[in-house]
Each structure stands twice: as structure tokens, then as C-alpha cells.
Amino acid sequence: MSSPKRPEAAQAYWQENLRLMLILLAIWFFISFGCGILFVEQLNAIQFFGFPLGFWFAQQGSIFGFLGLIAFYVWKMNQLDRKHDFHED
Amino acid sequence: MDTQTLIYLFVGATFALYIGIAIYTRAGSTSEYYVASKGVHPVLNGMATGADWMSAASFISMAGIISFVGLDGSVYLMGWTGGYVLLAMCLAPYLRKFGKFTVPDFIGARYYSSTARLVAVICVIFISFTYVAGQMRGVGIVFSRYLEVDINTGVIIGMAIVFFYSVLGGMKGITYTQVAQYCVMMFAYMVPAIFLSMMLTGNPIPQLGFGSTVLGSDTYLLDKLNGLGTELGFNIYTDGTKSTIDVFFITMALMVGTAGLPHVIVRFFTTPTVRDARKSAAWALLFIAILYTTAPALAAFARTNLLTSIPGVSYAEVPSWFKTWEKAGLVAWLDKNDDGKIQYGPGAPFAGAPTFDKAPGEHGERQVTNAPTPAATELYVDRDIMVLANPEIANLPGWVVALIAAGGLAAALSTAAGLLLVISTSISHDLLKSTLMPKISEKQELLAARVAAAVAVVVAGIFGIYPPAFVAQVVAFAFGLAAASFFPAIVLGIFSKRANKQGAIAGMIVGLTFTFAYIVYFKFINPSLDNAQHWWFGISPEGIGTLGMIFNVIVTYVVSMITAPPPAQIQELIEDIRIPRGAGAAIAH
């Protein structure tokens, strides 16, 4: 195992990576544990198309959200790799 | 052709396909056997992960469970998909960069300790065996329902197929058979769902039909379902009955457990680059989400069909699917008030699963010999028929029934194969090569892997034929233990440079022991106390892995802080896995 050649760049890359990850995980927590569990009763009072909103988040919305989060993460990380010149090939 | 012939044809054709793929992609080296030479395209890896992940339980049972519990069923939907977010962001890219073959490899190297590796190996084997026993049973059940052989013969046929392609093909063979299995099972799941959605709402996309109005009226499907249920005395479908804290903890345990399950993690060792590992997590979730967003729709459709076509109907006039599944023993009716009509309501009509008398009852129904309960309900419905009976309910032709049989087998076989590979790898690579006999050659290691896989298939088959009474109850084990043991050790190993050997070992042991003890206490030692009054903070054994994980993290942190930090080369290793460049091909060893 070789240590990264440019420690400052590695540090900056890692900090940005952490920030992105924490923001995305906060959204992850909000749409599933927040909307689908903790506030499900309050949200169920709101009608969203044919669904009570809380129920929709718990059974469909959160899954669509997870997909969006990973897709965004993949796209953003590829950018980050290039920006800091840590991309492969 | 009649339906039975079609079933033999479909199942036979898919088996031939899997075996063909296994022969074509057989593994010649340990790298091919363990991680398919790290040459799997991210889209294909995503599909394989999907098949690996979605078991007989996801395919057959999940929609049925949701159908009966409504909102409370969301724990499975969120729990079994949300874990992929954690996998994609916290584990997959870093473990791929690390570049070896197994989870214990990582734990052993990162915590510079063969003790830590051994603890990890024991967890891997225990978790995987727990899981695989249920899969073999699933194979047997599908066989017995559709192919008119008994469950044991079914298990043996299933063993022979899995044996063939996992022993021969290793990870490479399994990956490409799983891709085929994914296609078979998704096709089988979606066709009846699309037809049911059109039948009930006129919308061909089940995810949208779920939120549409019922065909020929202005009422939303879910409102109609809530109304039908309330009339019969059931809880409101879109409201929960479980306590919020329990739902929270179960969902978290399932999510974290998903991200910590070794047969899922190892799939991310097979991609060519770190970038592909991330991409492949996204594809995996997409392929899984297709089934997981259809399941709740299917659950609502099936529930609506059940509640509109059965309660209050006299036995002489029930739809034909009712009698088909009564014959199979999955539906039963006990005429408590002697009016010849089927009363349906909350509670169970009699204790346990139905046992039938030889002589038919007064109305020609199969007479049940179980002792009736005081509840007014007269109907027993096995949850699995909510998926299995759909083709008949939707009046679909025989080939769709055949498709469901092939799909159920694909779901069970693909998961079983993935688990067996993990078990064989743990024994040949982690236990023999890395711990007990480091001098064996690659050829011997490969042979050991194959022998271990063969033994594991046989053991799994025996569990399938003689299921330990607790098989159904120990699924909580697999997730809870994965959540309480691996997940914190791996994540802390990547994100903290301070976490050291002593901390990780202590943390894993505490998390594991606590979770294990809590589940064993409530499930086996004192099952009569297994209710919310006696649970800690109202957390059920299904959700206790979350607390185990929290304990693991705290113990790891505290012990790491009071002992020496990891040596310099480990700090370098951590810095190295944090950046993607230089992942390269599989590291020879």
C-alpha cells in the first residue's frame, strides 16, 4: 500500500467527500425515519394523489428518494474525483 | 398445453439455462472463484446483487405480509432498500479500493489482528447459515406446490442445482446465473402485477395504479381499501399499530443489517474500479426498487380483491382460486355459525395452521380439525397466496402460473448460491489460507473452496429438510447480528483513524453478545415474555440489533481512546483506501 502522494489534496478531497456524505445521509434520514416513521401520522392528514402522504413516504416515496440520493452521490463523486485528480484511468 | 406441463417446461428450461451459464463461466483461479476476477460490469453486477439480495421471502412473502399489516409492513420496504444508501456511501467504494476478497480480510488487515479476523469469520458463517436454511426450505416449498413432489425431494433437487453451479463456477458462475435469475424473477413478478393493476384501476403501471381511483368510480383504491377493512373490523390499512420506537428500531436494524450482510458486501469486491463499485450500488438499488415499489401496490391490490370477493359470500359461490388454494391447504374455512357463508374479520379463526379431516364438511369444504377460537372470523388465509394466487385472480393464462413457479425458484436459488459462496470463501480463504494453513498453494485453496461449498450445500439441505423449529424466528438473527457486529467495525475502520484492534474486538464482541442474548432470551428462553411490556424501551427482538450497534460503537470508541492508536502503516492504509486512484485488478497473494 502506498500513501497518497499529495497529502493536502487528499485531505481536501476527503473533507468534501465527508460533507457531501453527511448532507445526503441527513436527507436519507429525513425521508425515511422522518417522513415515513416519526411524522407519519401528521403527514397522513395530507392527501397526495390517492395516498395519505405519510403512508406514501413509508411505502414508495422513501425508496424513490434513496434512488435519487445514490444517483446524485455517484455523479457528484465522479466530479470530485476529477476535481482533485484522484480519478481512475 | 395444460398448466402442469407448462410449469415443468419453464422450470426445466430455466434450470438448463443456469447450468449452461455455469459451465460456460466456470472458475479456474481463486480470484475468479472469489471475486470473478474483479471484471464484472456495474450494470450486470447491479442485477446480480438484486438477485442475490431478493430471496424467496422478498419474492413470495413480502407482499403478503404487507397486505395483512398495511402501514406496519413499511419496515421491510424501507429497511431492505435504505441499506443500499449506506452501502454506496459508507462501504462499497472503500472496500473495493482495499481490494482483497472478503469481509474478514478487511477486518483482519485494518485491525492488524487475527483475533479480529476470527471473530469476523465466525459471524460470517453463523449469519450465512441462518439465512441459507430458510432459502433451501423456500426451494422445497415452491417445488412441492408447483411440481407435485414432496418438500424433501424439492430440497434435494434444489441442492443438486446449486451444488452444480456454485461449486463449479464460483463467484464468476454465480454472477452470471444471478443475472439470468434476476430477469426471470422480475418478469414473473411484474406480469401479474401489471394485469392486476389494469384490472382494478385501469393503469398499467402498478406504482401509479396504487394511487389511482378504482376503475369505474371516483374512489381512490386506498380509500376503498380502508373503507372495506373498517367495515369488517380491521385496522385502517394506511395507519400503523406498532409503536413508533419499535418501527424506528426495526427499520434501522434492517437497513444497517442489509449494509452489513457479507453476501451483499462481497458483490462490491467484483467490480473493475472504485467508480464502478459506486455505480453498481446505484444499479443494484434501481433493480431492487422495481420489485420493492411494486410489492406494496401488489399488496393493496390483493387485499382489495380478497375483501371484495370473499367476505359474506356463500361457500358454493366462491371464486375458483379459493378452491384451488384450499386444496393446497393455504386457505381454510370453518363455518362457525352454520350459515354456509364465509365470515371474515380480525383475529385467527382457529389455533395454528389448518389440519384437515378426510371427510368433506357440510358444504363440500375441506373440514378443519383445529380447535376454533372465540373470534367471529371463519377464514384462514396463508399470507403467501397474496402473490401465488394472483395469476388466477387476474384470470391470466397457465404460462403465467408457470412463470411464478420459475420466478420463486430463481429468487430462492440465487440467494442460496450467494450465501454458499460466502460460506465456502470464509472457510477456504479466511480460515485455512489466512489462519490455519498459510502455505497451501492456490490450487489447493481452490479445491478447499469447492469442498467447503459442497459440504455447505449438504448442510444447508439438511437444514431445509429438517428445519430447526426456530428457522422462521431466526431471520432477525441474521440482520441483527450483521448490524451489531460488522457494520460498525467496517465503517469505523474507514472513517476513524483512531479505532484500533482492542476497540474493534471489544465492540464486535459486545454488540454480538448483547444482540444474541436479547434475541435468545425472548425467542427461546422466555417466549411468553416476548411482548412490548417486557421489551427494553419497547424494542422488539427484531429491532434490537440497532441498540447492539450503538453499544458496539460506544465500546469501540471508549476502548480505542484508552489504548494505543493503530500503527503508522495502518494509518497509511486508511489514507490509501479513502482515495479511488490505484485500485487496479485483483491483488494476488
Looking at the DSSP bridge assignments, the partners of residue A52 are A47
The C-alpha cell at A71 is: 444517483
What's the pLDDT at B135? 79
The C-alpha cell at B274 is: 472504485
Residues of A in contact with B66 (CB under 8 A): 59
Contact, B232 vs B307, CB < 8 A? yes
Residues in chain B: 589
Contact, B530 vs B522, CB < 8 A? yes
| Mean pLDDT, rounded, for B366-373 | 90
B550 has a pLDDT exceeding 80: yes
Minimal C-alpha gap between A45 and chain B (Å)? 11
B573 has a pLDDT exceeding 80: yes
Give the ipTM: 0.94
Contact, B446 vs B29, CB < 8 A? yes
B202 has a pLDDT exceeding 70: yes
B231 has a pLDDT exceeding 50: yes
- Tell me how far apart the alpha carbons of residues B468 and B85 are, in angstroms, rounded to a whole number: 34
Most confident of B20-29, B306-315, B544-553: B544-553
Per-residue pLDDT of B387-422, as tens digits, reads 888 888 888 888 888 888 899 889 888 988 899 889
| Mean pLDDT, rounded, for A7-29 | 95
Judged by DSSP in three states, B477 sits in helix
Nearest to A87 among B222, B296, B580 (CB): B580
Nearest to A66 among B85, B212, B576 (CB): B85
Q: Which of A35-49, B8-22, B180-194, B459-473 has the lowest mean pLDDT?
A: B459-473
Residue of higher predicted confidence among B472 and A55: A55
What's the pLDDT at B72? 93
Residue of chain A whose alpha carbon sits nearest to that of B86: A25
- Tell me how far apart the alpha carbons of residues B503 and B552 are, in angstroms, rounded to a whole number: 9
CA-only gyration radius of chain B, Å: 25
Q: If we measure between CA atoms, which residue out of B583, B509, B582, B440 comes closest to residue B113? A: B509
**Separation in Å, CA B554 to CA A13, B43, B72, B551, B560:** 28, 38, 30, 5, 10
φ, ψ (nearest 5 deg) of residue B361: -75, -175
Looking at the DSSP bridge assignments, the partners of residue A47 are A52
Q: Under 8 Å CB-to-CB from B212, ≥6 apart: which residues? A: A49, A50, B201, B202, B203, B220, B221
| Mean pLDDT, rounded, for A15-33 | 97
Q: What is the DSSP letter of B177?
A: H
- Tell me how far apart the alpha carbons of residues A19 and A13 are, in angstroms, rounded to a whole number: 10
Minimal C-alpha gap between A83 and chain B (Å)? 13
* Distance from the first to the final alpha carbon of chain B: 55
Q: Is A37–B248 a contact, with Cβ atoms under 8 angstroms apart?
A: yes
- Tell me how far apart the alpha carbons of residues B106 and B272 are, in angstroms, rounded to a whole number: 18
| Residue B172: Cβ within 10 Å count | 27
What's the pLDDT at B567? 94
Q: Which of B143-157, B203-217, B517-531 has the lowest mean pLDDT?
A: B143-157
Q: What is the DSSP letter of B59?
A: I
Q: Which residue out of A1, A15, A48, A79 would a mutagenesis test of the B interface target, given it has the greatest number of B Cβ atoms within 10 Å?
A: A1
**Separation in Å, CA B546 to CA B91, B250, B477, B564:** 18, 8, 12, 28
pLDDT category of residue B587 using cuts at 50, 70 and 90 = very low
Nearest to B82 among A49, A52, A62 (CB): A62
B218 has a pLDDT exceeding 80: yes
B88 has a pLDDT exceeding 60: yes
Q: Note the pTM of the prediction, 2 decimals.
A: 0.92
B552, HSE (Cβ side, Cα atoms, 13 Å): 29
Residues of A in contact with B78 (CB under 8 A): 32, 36-37, 58, 62-63
Q: If we measure between CA atoms, which residue out of B256, B249, B250, B254 comes closest to residue B489? A: B256
Nearest to A71 among B212, B282, B292 (CB): B282
| Mean pLDDT, rounded, for B116-134 | 86
What's the pLDDT at A3? 44
Nearest to B289 among A37, A58, A67 (CB): A67
Q: Is B88–A70 a contact, with Cβ atoms under 8 angstroms apart?
A: yes
What's the pLDDT at B384? 82
What's the pLDDT at B588? 40
B77 touches A at CB < 8 Å = yes
Q: Under 8 Å CB-to-CB from B169, ≥6 apart: which residues? A: B21, B22, B25, B26, B27, B176, B177
Judged by DSSP in three states, B356 sits in strand
**Separation in Å, CA B217 to CA A49, A50, B308, B321, B390:** 15, 13, 15, 26, 23
φ, ψ (nearest 5 deg) of residue B184: -60, -50
Residue of higher predicted confidence among B3 and A74: A74
B151 has a pLDDT exceeding 50: yes
Residue of chain B whose alpha carbon sits nearest to that of A65: B82
Q: Which of B395-404, B471-480, B515-524, B558-567 has the lowest mean pLDDT?
A: B471-480
**Separation in Å, CA A87 to CA B236, B271, B475, B579, B582:** 52, 16, 40, 9, 9
B174 has a pLDDT exceeding 70: yes
Residues of B in contact with A13 (CB under 8 A): 578-579
- Tell me how far apart the alpha carbons of residues B84 and B61 are, in angstroms, rounded to a whole number: 21
| Mean pLDDT, rounded, for A37-65 | 94
| Mean pLDDT, rounded, for B21-48 | 87
pLDDT category of residue B470 using cuts at 50, 70 and 90 = low
Proportion of chain B above pLDDT 70, given as a percent: 97
- Tell me how far apart the alpha carbons of residues B127 and B478 are, in angstroms, rounded to a whole number: 5
Dihedral sign (CA B254, B256, B262, B266): positive
Angle at B392 between CA B391 and CA B395, to 5 degrees: 90
Proportion of chain B above pLDDT 90, given as a percent: 48
Nearest to B575 among A4, A37, A81 (CB): A4
Angle at B579 between CA B573 and CA B582, to 5 degrees: 85
Burial bucket for residue B312 (CB in 10 Å: 0-12, 13-18, 19+)? exposed
The C-alpha cell at B37 is: 476476477
Judged by DSSP in three states, B434 sits in helix
A70 touches B at CB < 8 Å = yes
Q: Is A74–B74 a contact, with Cβ atoms under 8 angstroms apart?
A: no
Q: Which residue out of B290, B579, B587, B589 would a mutagenesis test of the A interface target, given it has the greatest number of A Cβ atoms within 10 Å?
A: B579
B585 has a pLDDT exceeding 60: no
A45 touches B at CB < 8 Å = no
Residue of higher predicted confidence among B578 and B165: B578
pLDDT category of residue A63 using cuts at 50, 70 and 90 = very high
The C-alpha cell at B319 is: 371464486
Helix (H) or strand (E) holding B368: strand B366-368
CA-only gyration radius of chain A, Å: 18
B468 has a pLDDT exceeding 70: no
- Tell me how far apart the alpha carbons of residues A8 and B26 are, in angstroms, rounded to a whole number: 45
Q: What is the DSSP letter of B116?
A: H
